[in-house]
Each structure stands twice: as C-alpha cells, then as structure tokens.
Chains A and B, each alone.
Chain A
Amino acid sequence: MLQPEVRCVEFVDEVTVWMEGGLTDDQRLLLEEHLSICPHCTRYLDQLRATLALLHDADKGLSESPSPSARDELMAVFREMRRD
C-alpha cells in the first residue's frame, strides 16, 4: 500500500481547521485525499460530526430558572421600566 502523505495523527490535529475552512487549497486536498483512503479517520470524523449534532441546542431542555425571588425582581423591574 502506498503511504498517504498525511498521517492519521496529522489528520486528527488538522480536522477542526479543515472543518472551519482554514486550510490552503493544497493542504485541504491532501487532507481530503487521506480521508478518502483511511476508514479509521473516516470513523473519527463520523464520531466528531455525531458529537456536533448532539451538542447542537443540547442545553435547550435544561430547565434552570432564576430563584423565585430573583425572577420576581426581574419581572418587577421589567414592568416598572417598560411602563414609562
């Protein structure tokens, strides 16, 4: 097997810059070439993407609220300020 120019350890180091669109065209092509022949790094990327999908809005369901007294204060100030 011909050795790819980018090693796995480099792929995992550069993957964020790649996803952020921060690589030069040459770097990007080398990284994508590695990805196309390396099933392990493909799995790594799949897991990374699954992580991002899970993170998206992950805190939306958290129902932390101000304490009742803090909330009352906020609502009172809001009504006071907006009345004018």
Chain B
Amino acid sequence: MSASYLDELGDDDAIVARLRDGDDKAFAALIDRYHATMLRLARGYVATKEAAEDVVQETWLGVIRGIDGFESRASLKTWIFRILVNRATTRGERESRTRPFSSLAAEVDEPTVDPNRFIDSGRWQGFWSVPPTRHVIPEQHVLASEASDRVLRAVDALPPNQQVVITLRDIQGLSAADVCDLLSISEANQRVLLHRARSKVRAVLEVYLDDRAVKS
C-alpha cells in the first residue's frame, strides 16, 4: 500500500471524503504517510518506544472515530498531530514524566554557536575567529540521503521540546501559528526552541560538510 495514493486523491477534502466513505486504501495510505513522524513526535512525551507505539495506535483509533467531526479549518495533518499531542500528553502525565513544554523558563541559555569560534576580546570581540569553512554546498540531490540521514539523526538527539518543534516546523512544514496553538506555547518560546534546534542541526551539517571536503 503506498502513501502516494494520497497524492492521487489530491487535497485534504478529497482524502477526508474517501475516509468517510470507508475507503480502507486511503486509511492505509494515511498510516504509511504519517506513522513514522507520529512515532518520533510521541517519543518526545513518553519514556519508551512501546509507549510511543501505544500513543500512535490510540491516535489512529481517534482519527477513525473523529473523522466525521473533522472541519477543514486546520489541515488534516495538523488535526491528526493535535490528537497525537493530546494522547501523548495524557500518557506522559500518567508516567509522571515532565511535560516537554513545562520547563522552558527554567532552561539555561544555550549559545547558538560554540563561543570559542568568536574573538573574545578587543576591538573585534564577537566577530568570527573560526568562521564556517567555505564549501560549495552541493545541490540537495547530490547531498541526498547521507546528509539527510545525518540531519535527521541530529534532530533525534535534541531535547524533546526542540525535537518536537523542529519536526513540526521544518520537517512537516507547519506554520509558526499552528505549532504554537498545537503545543500551547507562546510565539517567543516557539522561536527560542526552533532557534536552538536549527542551530544544533546546522552545526552537525557543518561537520558533515567539513569531513566530506577532507575525504574528497
């Protein structure tokens, strides 16, 4: 069963209509499209892979039951992610885990870039001492799967709240407003988390580009 069936169907309205009509091929394609993303998001809230799988399973059941009530004010995927976040939050609380978005104020300020890479005194304090190396950044299709793999692993290594925000914003392409609403966080908090996440993932890409240049 292929997720590209969703592309054939076209927009959210068409997909939702098929789901309401009981087209199980459409439902299976929806699972194929979003299951991996949902598992990764759920991992930000619960302790184990098994718990995350439970959360995603409950979410799919919620999708089946709720699809008649879906209103196209939000996109279908935002609506599915909302169900996921609700289930994951409930499950995380049952496990008495700290909610990923409750502790932002207490977090220490992290530097965007290693402070050792800037001049630390004198007239040029705060300017690069070790600037990013000049690389011709290859076209994306040349970087292809290896680099993509690296950045995805870098996302996995982030603290849960940063991981959830960058996944929704940069991998899934949700708007800032949707993400704030979905996670019940302020615009400013969303930006801080996104900034930290992007900064760290860029640093991983930089190392990758540097290594690649040495090898070739």
| Other-chain residue from B22, B167, B187 in contact with A82 (beta carbon distance below 8 A) | B22
Instruction: Closest B residue to A57 by CB, please name it.
Output: B171
In the complex, A29 has a CB within 8 A of chain B? no
Complexed CA–CA distance, A57 and B168 (Å): 10
Per-residue CB contact flags for chain A residues 50-73 toward chain B (1 = under 8 Å, else 0) read 111111111111111111001101
With an 8 Å Cβ cutoff, the count of chain B residues facing the other chain is: 63
Whether A75 and B112, one on each chain, are in contact in the complex, defined by CB atoms closer than 8 angstroms, is no
Q: List chain A residues, Cβ under 8 A from B22.
A: 78-79, 82-83
Q: Quick check: which of B8-16, B87-95, B96-104, B200-208 contacts chain A, the rest being far away?
A: B200-208
Q: For residue A62, give the distance in angstroms from its CB to the closest CB of chain B.
A: 4
Interface residues of B (CB under 8 A from A): 19-22, 24, 27-28, 31-33, 35-37, 39-40, 53, 56-57, 60-61, 64-65, 112-113, 115, 118, 123-128, 131-135, 137, 140, 143, 145, 147-148, 151-152, 155, 166-167, 170-171, 173, 176, 187, 191, 194-195, 198-199, 201-202, 205-206, 209
Interface residues of A (CB under 8 A from B): 3, 7-10, 12-13, 15-17, 20, 22, 39-41, 43-44, 46-48, 50-67, 70-71, 73-75, 77-79, 81-83
Cross-chain pairs A/B with CB under 8 angstroms, 26 sampled: A8-B126, A9-B115, A9-B127, A16-B191, A17-B191, A20-B191, A43-B132, A43-B133, A44-B202, A48-B202, A50-B205, A51-B151, A51-B198, A51-B205, A52-B170, A54-B140, A54-B148, A64-B35, A66-B53, A71-B28, A71-B31, A75-B27, A77-B61, A77-B64, A81-B65, A82-B21
